[in-house]
Amino acid sequence: MLTFTRINTRHPQYVFVEKLLHQSFPLEERRDDAEQRNNTDHNASFFCYLIEENKNETEENQLIGFITLWKLNEFYYAEHLATSPEVRNKGYGKHIMEELKQQFADNPIVLEVERPENEMSKRRIGFYQRCGFSLCLQDYIQPAYRKGGKEVPLYLMYTGREEIDTCFSQIRDEIYRHVYGVNKL
């Protein structure tokens, strides 16, 4: 069984989370460490969850990965999700998405994906679709995480609603304001 444990930077496994964040996301796809730590410890809308698999009473839990979520107005935004290299390609991603949808069923969940321009991005979109997410084809630009960084054209995917086309601009603007600290591009 997978467990999601909300942690802060004082948690003994935060080092694992931060190292995995660095391994899984290039610098331009994440904020700097000080800002990430500040969100983890002080931002009431930001949640950093350690994901573990509970074995049994005699074995230690296995570290699976982490996910960061933002609780925004009427939806959750899943910002970063990574599994440990030791457990990749073993079906944990699907179990994480199922658990995520179950634990946070009170509101829709939104996430960003690369546009389907290569085989890997097409596979990633297909993975999320098999997990019950729908693709929104409206133009979405991810703001740069840091000054001088590049904006990235992406798409949004979502679950927990029929569609997001009618509220796309509100969702986009809320992500921009709260996650990236910009009002518009």
Q: Per-residue pLDDT tens for 121-159?
A: 999 999 999 999 999 999 999 999 988 899 999 999 999
CB 182 within 8 A of CB 143: yes
Look up the pTM and report it. 0.94
Residue 121, judged by CB atoms within 10 A of its CB (0-12, 13-18, 19+), counts as: middle
Residues 6-60: tens digit of each pLDDT: 999 999 999 999 999 999 999 989 999 999 999 999 999 999 999 999 877 767 8
- The average confidence (pLDDT) of the chain is 95
Alpha carbons within 13 angstroms on the beta-carbon side of residue 165 total 7
Residue 114, judged by CB atoms within 10 A of its CB (0-12, 13-18, 19+), counts as: middle
CA 106 to CA 160: how far, in whole Å?
A: 9
